[in-house]
Structure 1
Amino acid sequence: MKTETIQKYDRGVPRYTSYPTAHLFQAGLSEATYREWLAAVPEEMPLSLYAHIPYCDSLCWFCGCHTKITQKYKPIREYLAVLQKEISMTADVMGMGRPVSHLHFGGGSPTILIPEDVRALFGTLREAFRFTADAELAVEIDPRDMSREAINAWAESGINRASLGVQDIQPKVQQAINRIQSIEQTAQVASWLHEAGVHGINMDLMYGLPYQTVESVLETVRQVMEMAPERIALFGYAHIPALKPHQRLIPEEVLPDFNERFEQQEAAAELLGSYGFVRIGLDHFAKQDDPMAIAFANGTLRRNFQGYTTDKAEAMIGFGASSIGCLPAGFIQNQVPITTYKSTINKGNFAVLKSIPFQGQDKLRAAIIEQLMCYHQVDLAPLCKQYGCSTDLFLYEFDQLQDLANDGIVTLDGSLISVTDDARSLVRTVCAVFDEYHGQRDRAYSKAV
């Protein structure tokens, strides 16, 4: 497919880690209603937990996360005490010992925690919840601040999957994004993880960063392959300085243009394929025997706020400042400012900031978008049957899809919609066709490619 055609549809669109998307969440959910939502989760329903640690010791200029820079540990320890209180409050409402099949620590940098606090946090979690025998417990790791002792603390606490932030190995690129990280540091942490029994290792890479070239991206992939990762996440850098002012520290003139970004993405994907990795969804790759590749093959792959996942839990509870949860009744987001979050929890109240209850066709459209994001195709007929409606509900969407079909972005076969292989980078643009809310509010989205 011509890059001109792809560029024509390279529009600002949501990342679709949820539907409705997070920018639609609104203030107004009472704490009483949130408690009702928690208590209404069926007792037998396995839970997914997310814990947000919003601290880093330095700021990466590409970062799009909610985080605070600190060189002192006191505010981290104070935050951790509040996080543990929120965990206990939640278990008190839902009932102690609810089953948990997935746990993810994100940030910020979760590995900024010292070993004794890692163990204390897990102690609180295990008092409040019951982890299933096959539960996946994952943590995001910044290799620059890890020690063998810290690795052992996480491993002894039950972590069985780790995502190592790499981005790019070239010094010039690292300097431009304010993240100096030697390949030796990363390799050492990967080795310590293997020695500690943590073999589910992911590596997070990026394309579209300042000064990157196709060859530099490929060299990063080659070097990372020496560390025997199970999965690779290849994210496109989202330059949105209007939302993340610190990104203004990156000169726009040294960012790759559209054609260069596209070439970097496709070249890296081809190289990963030569190493035997299965291309999954928009930006993930996994070894053929990895649980994610197996889930992709058998049709159980999911997508949520952590991206592509094998997590099958229908309810996710978010802990910590800015964290987002998903309950059968709707989505919830905690207060973003750390001070506000802490003061609210310390008063014995949940720190709910915004929410959106599911209504109308939300769950049907969410299922359609998730199928497209995971598999780049969706058959509307069985989904409409499952939700008790006719495919005629989407006549307007089919009219919009016809334009995409005429340009070779999708193929249409009855109720089956497939994104063509050459246009897979535009899958979010196809998803936006089924997004009832897209375009209703001003929002600066990242481009599709």
Structure 2
Amino acid sequence: MQISILEKYYDARLPWYTIYPTVPEFSAVVGAETCGKWLRSLPADGAVSLYLHIPFCRSMCWYCGFPTTFTRRNAPMFDYLAVLREEIRLVAEQAPQSLPVSDVHFGGGTPTLIKPAEFLALMDVLRLRFAFRKTATIAVEIDPRTFTMEMAEALGEAGVHRASLGVQSFDPIVQKAINRVQSEAQTAAAVENLRQHGIDRINFDLIFGLPHQTVQSCVQSATTAVALRPDRLAVFGYAHVPSYMKRQRLIDEAVLPDYATRAEQAAAVADTLVAAGYHPIGLDHFALPHDELSLAQKNGRLRRNSLGYSADSCSTVIPLGTSAIGRLGDGYVQNEVVRGSYREHIRAGRLATSKGYRLTSEDRVRAAIIERLMCDMEADVSAICTAHGFDPISILDSAERLAMLAEDGIVHIQNGFIRVRHEHRFMVRAVAAAFDAYLDRKPY
């Protein structure tokens, strides 16, 4: 792959387009009052997803870009869970009664740091306040280093279906460089414990572009992961933004791989996983043929939301917990990031929404185009615009970067249909960015 093309388009600073518009466009204009109105206007029979953010970790992973709190004590978690339960009550009282839930995701941080009894109690509160569909999927993010047999038993009892395990890399040199030392045995034990308790839908997270990482070590990590046969893997590129995330300043920039090496690593991991029987899903996921993501992709139903790729067709996500992002009927909302502010709002009987975004008609059509590109590596812009009542010519003409992308062989364009060439699938964010009306328009 030409270095000039990599330097031009392979930019870790581009949005990941899990949602559009992206979080930098959020403002305090959309706050708790607006969120309450949007909750009350949800259709009573319309399915919703719930996202619960548990922000606690036992140690600090230097690569992490998520808002987390590091604690050795359990008291802060007990306090947080009490506030979270109160938020669930407040939200449920604003929303229509018996709102049907199709999907629940516990993210973090490390949700499984809370005590098994506390997790079961939290699930009881959710089931009391919402009407879970029989087919509802419950997913939990797990750090294998702190996962216990007791917690696996509680997850099984609570009806959890899917577990997402953070792995990142099995290379001990890389692990030390990112302050996340995690043995193969710890990961394998967590997988075994989960499967013993009926949780056999397993995800792994891997990362390339980390300090000291090589193409060979990435392939070895992928090979080791495949031996445990997770249903799907997410393979993310490390985004080094120390100006935004202070903990990343502890990573030695001198040993980070360059653009060309990152691209080689991504391609090598993809080749390894495909050779092992996994289907490539969008930009950075891989799934076995029976997995919901593979089936959704095959049937043209693959979606993208604030958590990444999803087979869940539900477009409403209710956020719970600090910093949690959701989508309600007319736009996006985000809770207070600072735990103290979040607690103050909830204990005062107010929703914890700190900012959000009200979608325009044009936002919706651009979001639809970006979602199809990110999910399918192609988009029928003309058909999408027509379905939304928009003139496709005006949308295409505003995407000034498309001509350059086509000239460089990244995309093929014909009659308003855009297809990302297979050999350039890792550049799809640059293609999506062509339809981002808010992105800083600096040339590549």
TM-score w.r.t. the length of structure 1 is 0.96
2:138 aligns to what SS in structure 1?
Answer: strand
Partner residue in 2 for 1:5: 5
Provide Cα deviations, 1:288-335, integer angstroms capped at 9, x if missing partner: 111110001111001111111112112100000000110111100000
Q: Tell me, yes or no, if structure 1 residue 46 matches structure 2 residue 42.
A: no
Q: Is the 2:20–2:363 Cα contact (8 Å) retained in structure 1? A: yes
Q: Tell me, yes or no, if structure 1 residue 201 matches structure 2 residue 202.
A: yes
- How does 1:12-411 map onto structure 2 within 5 Å? 12-397=13-398, 399-411=400-412
Q: Is the 2:47–2:316 Cα contact (8 Å) retained in structure 1? A: yes
1:144 aligns to what SS in structure 2?
Answer: coil
Partner residue in 2 for 1:445: none
Q: Identify the range of structure 1 (3-12 vs 423-432) with the bigger mean alpha-carbon deviation.
A: 3-12
1:64 aligns to what SS in structure 2?
Answer: coil
**C-alpha separation between the residues in 2 aligned to 1:282 and 1:29?**
31
**C-alpha separation between the residues in 2 aligned to 1:417 and 1:202?**
31
**C-alpha separation between the residues in 1 aligned to 2:262 and 2:81?**
39
**C-alpha separation between the residues in 1 aligned to 2:34 and 2:62?**
38
Once the 2 structures are TM-superposed, how far is the Cα of residue 30 of structure 1 from its aligned partner? 4.3
2:17 aligns to what SS in structure 1?
Answer: coil
2:145 aligns to what SS in structure 1?
Answer: helix
**C-alpha separation between the residues in 2 aligned to 1:354 and 1:163?**
28
Letter in 1 for 2:358: P
Q: Where does the alignment leave 5 or more consecutive residues of structure 2 unmatched?
A: none
Q: RMSD across aligned C-alpha pairs, in angstroms?
A: 1.3
Cα distance change, pair 424–3 in 1 and its aligned pair in 2 (3 A): farther
Once the 2 structures are TM-superposed, how far is the Cα of residue 28 of structure 1 from its aligned partner? 2.8
**C-alpha separation between the residues in 1 aligned to 2:30 and 2:407?**
44
Q: Is the 1:97–1:127 Cα contact (8 Å) retained in structure 2? A: no
Q: Is the 2:382–2:416 Cα contact (8 Å) retained in structure 1? A: yes
Once the 2 structures are TM-superposed, how far is the Cα of residue 399 of structure 1 from its aligned partner? 4.7
Provide Cα deviations, 1:160-209, integer angstroms capped at 9, x if missing partner: 00000000111111111001111000000101111111111001001011
**C-alpha separation between the residues in 1 aligned to 2:14 and 2:156?**
38
Provide Cα deviations, 1:19-54, integer angstroms capped at 9, x if missing partner: 110111001334332211101011111001000001
2:234 aligns to what SS in structure 1?
Answer: strand
Letter in 1 for 2:162: R
Provide Cα deviations, 1:202-242, integer angstroms capped at 9, x if missing partner: 01001011111111111111111121100011011110001
Q: Is the 1:6–1:423 Cα contact (8 Å) retained in structure 2? A: no
Provide Cα deviations, 1:336-375, integer angstroms capped at 9, x if missing partner: 0001101110110011110110114011100000000001
Instruction: Name the % identity.
Output: 43
**C-alpha separation between the residues in 2 aligned to 1:285 and 1:301?**
13
Provide Cα deviations, 1:264-308, integer angstroms capped at 9, x if missing partner: 110110010111100011100000111110001111001111111
Regions of 4+ moved over 6 Å: none
Once the 2 structures are TM-superposed, how far is the Cα of residue 135 of structure 1 from its aligned partner? 1.3
Once the 2 structures are TM-superposed, how far is the Cα of residue 83 of structure 1 from its aligned partner? 0.5
Once the 2 structures are TM-superposed, how far is the Cα of residue 2 of structure 1 from its aligned partner? 2.5
Letter in 1 for 2:374: M
Once the 2 structures are TM-superposed, how far is the Cα of residue 437 of structure 1 from its aligned partner? 0.7
Q: Where does the alignment leave 5 or more consecutive residues of structure 1 unmatched?
A: 443-447
Q: Is the 2:44–2:97 Cα contact (8 Å) retained in structure 1? A: no
Q: Is the 2:399–2:435 Cα contact (8 Å) retained in structure 1? A: no
TM-score w.r.t. the length of structure 2 is 0.97
Letter in 2 for 1:56: C
**C-alpha separation between the residues in 2 aligned to 1:395 and 1:79?**
47
Letter in 1 for 2:275: S
Q: Is the 1:45–1:314 Cα contact (8 Å) retained in structure 2? A: no
